[in-house]
Structure 1
Amino acid sequence: MKLNLSRREFHLTAAHMLLASSAGGALLGGAGPVFAQSSRAVKLGTFGAIDAQNYIRAKNLAPKTFGQGVGSDFVTVRAGSEVISAMAGGSLDMCNIGSSPMMVGYANGLKASMVYVYKNIVDSECLVVQGNSGITTVAGLKGKKIGLPFNTSVHFAAVAALKFAGLGLADVQLINMRADQIASAWQRREIDASYIWVPVLPRLTDDGGKIIFKTGDLNRQSLLIFDGLLVRDEFKRKSPDLVLAFLKDYEQIARGFKQDPKDVVDTMTKFLNVDEATVMRSLNTFYPVPASEQLSSRWMGKPGEKDTGVLKTLRTQAQFLFESGQITVMPEDVGGLVDSSFVAKMVA
C-alpha cells in the first residue's frame, strides 16, 4: 500500500550514485551540509530520484527557494520507513512519501502531517502477468502466485484490485519480494504475476509481460493512490514560510517537468548519471495535482473538510493496515494526518 518520478524510481541505484557524487548532500545518518552560519535550516528528503528535491539540488536553487541565509540539507532516504524514523528523530523536516508508510507513522504517534499531494499514481505501478499465461483479467489470477513488496502502495492496490474482482487473499498466493528480487524471479518463471512500479515494471513487460491492471484504475472505485509531502509538525509550526516556499516552487517545477522535459532531461541525466530514456519514462508516469484541484473535495479539500477523497483513501488504508497486522491500533481519526491549510494559502 504505500507516491520516483516516484519516490521509488532509482531509489536503489541512484542512492549509491549519490554516495559517490561530489554534489554533496546527506545520507540518512550522515553529517550533511547544513550551513553553520544559518539561523534557520531545512532538512529536505529525497529518494535519490528524478524529483523536485533533486532538481533543486542539481540546479543549486535552494537559496532561491528558501531565501538567502537559510541552510539546506538534502537527506537521501531509501524507503518510507526511513522517512518515518528520520522525522521521529528530528533529522528530517520534509519529504515525499507513500500514504501507506505515512499512515503507519501516524498510527504509531509520529508528529507529522501531509500538507500536499505530491503526485497521483496512475500508471507507474501496474499488475503484470506472464505473457504466455492466458490471463487477461484480475479475476483470472485465482490460484496464481503474485510477487510484490509488502507494506507498500502496490500491496494495498493489489488487495483492492483483487477485492473488486471478487477475489480474496485465500484465492491467490501473494509472495513478499523486494523490488530488486522480482525481475529475476520473473525470468525464472517462479511467479505468475507481479504488482510493481517503474523501473522494475518495464523489465517485466520487455520480457513478455502483459499489463492487466493499473493503479489508476482504482480511481473508478473512488480510491486514490498517491504520494504526499509529509512535514514534521514542529518544523511546520516554527517555519511555515519555508514549507509554503517549497510548495510554491514544487508546483512550478512539477509544471516544468511536464511542459519542458528537455531541461529536466539535461539536468537529471547529468546529476543522476542515468540515460535519457530513463528520465523520460519517469516524466511520462509523473502526474502532479495542481493546488487548485487539491483544494477540491476529490483530493484534500478545504481545511476542516471531513469527506474528501484523500481522507477516504487513508481510512481505507488504515483499515487494511490494521487487518493485516501492520499497525496494532486503528486510528480514531485520520483527519489529524491531513493539513490543507498550505494548499489554501497557495490558491488564495
Structure 2
Amino acid sequence: MKCKETAVPGMILGLLFFCCLMACSQPEEPIRIGISTWAGVEPAELAARKGFYEKRGVDVEMVRFSAYKDSIEAFREAKVDADMQTFDDAIRLYAAGRKMKVVLFTDYSFGGDGIVARKGIDTVSDLKGKKVGVEIGTVSHFSLVKALDTAGLKEEDIVIASIPAWEIKGAFIKGKIDAGVTWEPYLTSAAKDGGGRVIITSRDYPKTIVTTMVMSDDMISRRPDDVQKVVAAYFDAVKFMKAHPGEAYAIMAQAEGESVEEFTAHVEGIRYIDIETNKAAFGTMQDGELFDVGRNLTDFLFEKSMIKTVPDIAGLMDGGFVNNLR
C-alpha cells in the first residue's frame, strides 16, 4: 500500500513534467503579416520568398489581400498580427483603440500618388468648380488639400465626390468625375485608359504619404525577440533589393501580378526607407523626422472628424527594433 501511495504522486509529477516539456517544445504560431498592392511594401514579401525570415529564425506567414481596406480590417480584428499600411491609417486605428505600434517605415511616395484629370484640365488651378473624386479622411484627401493649397485653392472651390482610391480609375473612365486622387498602379492606368493626364504627383509634396509596418502590442509583448527578427529580415530584403534589383523586382512584380517593366515604373514613384533613414525618422525623444508628419496627419484627421480624439503619436511609434539594428 505504501508503494502505491508514493508511486501515484510520482507518476503525476512525471506526467506534469512531460506535459510541460511538450508545451515548451511546441513551435510558435507563425507571425501573420497582412499585405496588399503597393510597390513600397513588397520587401516584406521579398523577405518571405527569399527565406530571410527563416534565416533569422522566425516563422512568418504573408497574408495577401486584393483590397487594401480588407488588410486594414483584418488587422483591426486581430486576424493578422502585423500589417503594411499608410501612416494615416495607422493613426486612425490607434485613435480608435487598437493596441499597436509602428515598428518600421517602408517608403514614402515620390510620384506614386497624384491627381489624374480630363483633357482640358492641365493644372491644379483648373480644378476650380470641377468634380474631384477622393477618399474622404485619408492621406489622399490630405494630399489633395496640400495640392489645392499650391494653387491658392480651398476644398470649397471644388466639388468633392467621396470615392475609395482603388475605385477612382473606374469612376474616371466612366466619366463620373472630372479628376481623381489615387495611387499606382491605378494613377497611370486611369490616365491612359481614360484619355486624361496626371497633373500633379507626390513629387510635389514628398514625405507626406508614408507607409509603415505596424505590429500588435500583444505580439510585441509576447514575442519581442521574434518581432526583432521580423524587422531585421525586412531590412535584409531591402539590402538584397539594392544589391540585386533585377532579381528582386522580378519576385516583387510577380507578387503584385505585374510585369517587371510595370513594377519598375512604379518603383520610380516611391523612395524606399532604409535602416539609417528609419532611425532618423523615429529619432529620439520625439524629434524624429516623421513625428511632425504624424502630428499633421493627426490634426487633419481630427479636423475632418475621422478620429474622435487626438492621440499621442509617441505612443504609436516604437523605433526600438530599428535602433537595435547595426
Shorter-chain TM-score range: 0.7 to 0.9
Deviation at 1:111, TM superposition (A): 0.7
Q: Residue 309 of structure 1 aligns to a residue in which SS?
A: coil
Mapped to 1, the partners of 2:78 and 2:126 lie a distance apart of 47
Residue of structure 1 equivalent to 2:91: 103
Residue of structure 1 equivalent to 2:4: none
Deviation at 1:106, TM superposition (A): 0.9
- 2:73 matches 1:91: no
- Choose which of 112, 115, 120 in structure 1 pairs with 2:103: 115
Q: Residue 55 of structure 1 aligns to a residue in which SS?
A: helix
- 2:279 matches 1:295: yes
- Choose which of 116, 125, 148 in structure 2 pairs with 1:128: 116
81-90 or 235-244: bigger deviation: 81-90
Q: Residue 230 of structure 1 aligns to a residue in which SS?
A: strand
Residue of structure 1 equivalent to 2:21: none
1:94/1:194 CA distance change after superposition, 3 Å: same
Q: Residue 211 of structure 1 aligns to a residue in which SS?
A: strand
Task: Give the number of the structure whose alpha-carbon radius of gyration is greater.
Answer: 2
Deviation at 1:310, TM superposition (A): 1.5
- Choose which of 293, 305, 314 in structure 2 pairs with 1:313: 293
Mapped to 1, the partners of 2:60 and 2:168 lie a distance apart of 36
| 1:80–1:102 contact (8 Å) kept in structure 2 | no
- 2:184 matches 1:198: yes
1:10-39: per-residue Cα shift (whole Å, max 9, x none)? xxxxxxxxxxxxxxxxxxxxxxxxxx9513
Deviation at 1:164, TM superposition (A): 4.0
Which blocks of at least 5 consecutive residues in structure 1 are unaligned? 1-35
1:110/1:78 CA distance change after superposition, 3 Å: farther
Greater helix fraction, Structure 1 or Structure 2 = 2
- Choose which of 150, 153, 162 in structure 2 pairs with 1:176: 162
Counterpart amino acid of 2:259? D
Residue of structure 2 equivalent to 1:47: 36
| 2:85–2:214 contact (8 Å) kept in structure 1 | yes
Larger RCO (CA under 8 A, 6+ residues apart)? 2
| 1:118–1:289 contact (8 Å) kept in structure 2 | yes
Q: Residue 128 of structure 1 aligns to a residue in which SS?
A: strand
- 2:189 matches 1:209: no
Mapped to 1, the partners of 2:300 and 2:254 lie a distance apart of 41
Identical residues among aligned pairs (%): 24
| 1:113–1:233 contact (8 Å) kept in structure 2 | yes
1:208/1:256 CA distance change after superposition, 3 Å: farther
1:105/1:127 CA distance change after superposition, 3 Å: same
1:327/1:243 CA distance change after superposition, 3 Å: same
1:213/1:269 CA distance change after superposition, 3 Å: closer
TM-score (norm 2): 0.81
Deviation at 1:181, TM superposition (A): 3.3
Mapped to 2, the partners of 1:63 and 1:212 lie a distance apart of 44
Counterpart amino acid of 1:149? E
Residue of structure 2 equivalent to 1:18: none
Corresponding pairs, count: 299
Residue of structure 2 equivalent to 1:26: none
Mapped to 1, the partners of 2:112 and 2:304 lie a distance apart of 25
Residue of structure 1 equivalent to 2:135: 149
1:194-231: per-residue Cα shift (whole Å, max 9, x none)? 21111111113324433332223224xxx632001111
TM-score (norm 1): 0.77
Residue of structure 1 equivalent to 2:27: 38
